[in-house]
Amino acid sequence: MAMLEIRNLHVKIENREILKGLNLKVNAGEVHSIMGPNGSGKSTLAQVLARRESYLVTEGEVLLDGKDLLAMKPEDAACEGVFMAFQYPIEIAGISNAYFLRAALNAVRKYHGRKEMDAMDFLPFYKGKMKLLEVDESFMTRSVNEGFSGGEKKRNEILQMALLEPKLAILDETDSGLDIDALRIVANGVNAMRSPDRATIVITHYQRLLDYIVPDFVHVLVDGRIVKSGGKELALTLEEQGYVGVETEARALAVAV
């Protein structure tokens, strides 16, 4: 059984259909990349998987280890192991990163009937993860994302991911706004998290990120459907030829159907 199985997913936002019958299977241990032009529905897919409620699913189903993901509230999906690294991480004033991360970690632990972690246990735990993402100690005492640079925000997302150890990680354009050094650090963090038990979906516009996080599969999303899938070399083809080729292909396909 695939860890994640998306069947014929149709999603609307404000009465406009964005996803128009998307199918995807992701197995544990795999890294899938979803590429596509602006407005093709990449971020919508990420938001729906993270259970954002403003997106209306009109048809189809999504199973996470056989469970109905679409019936879950965002916090339940999170506790079941779905993690989304936000394209635009949100600021929370007055709450330290350490406090927030421990609260999140404990919410997940509580959900699974595990003992909550106190501040003393948490300290060595996060210190190890901080080293991995090359972040400064002050990171933990600063308010969540407040006054963080774009790069720091993205590193903070991956730091959270490293702490929460999700089953399914979704990276929504994590490369946007990153310089080359930050990109390398973020990619290192993600690569260190690769494991046979974990699946990762990397959403990106550009092939650049995939030089660092090498995917097992690449899917091209155009106009709400996956029109082409292949190995990592597909990303290179796209980089050379752009999306125009596959778009034409997709249109031909749609007419044929």
Give the binding site for other proteins (CB under 8 A): 50-54, 73-75, 77-79, 83-84, 86, 89-90, 92-95, 100, 103-105, 107-108, 111, 143, 160, 164
Residue number, 55 or 212, with CB nearest to other proteins: 55
Nearest approach, Cβ of residue 101 and other proteins (Å):
8
Least distance from C-beta 21 to other proteins, angstroms? 26
Q: For other proteins, which is the closer residue by CB, 91 or 121?
A: 91
Query: Closest approach of Cβ 39 to other proteins, in Å?
Result: 20
Instruction: Pick the closer one to other proteins by CB: 86 or 126.
Output: 86
- Decide whether 32 or 102 has the Cβ nearer to other proteins: 102
Residue 202: both structure tokens together: 């990397």
Q: Which is nearer to other proteins, 162 or 164 (CB)?
A: 164
For the bound state, the minimum distance from the C-beta of residue 164 to other proteins, rounded and expressed in Å, comes to 7
Q: In angstroms, what is the minimal distance from the CB of 2 to other proteins?
A: 22
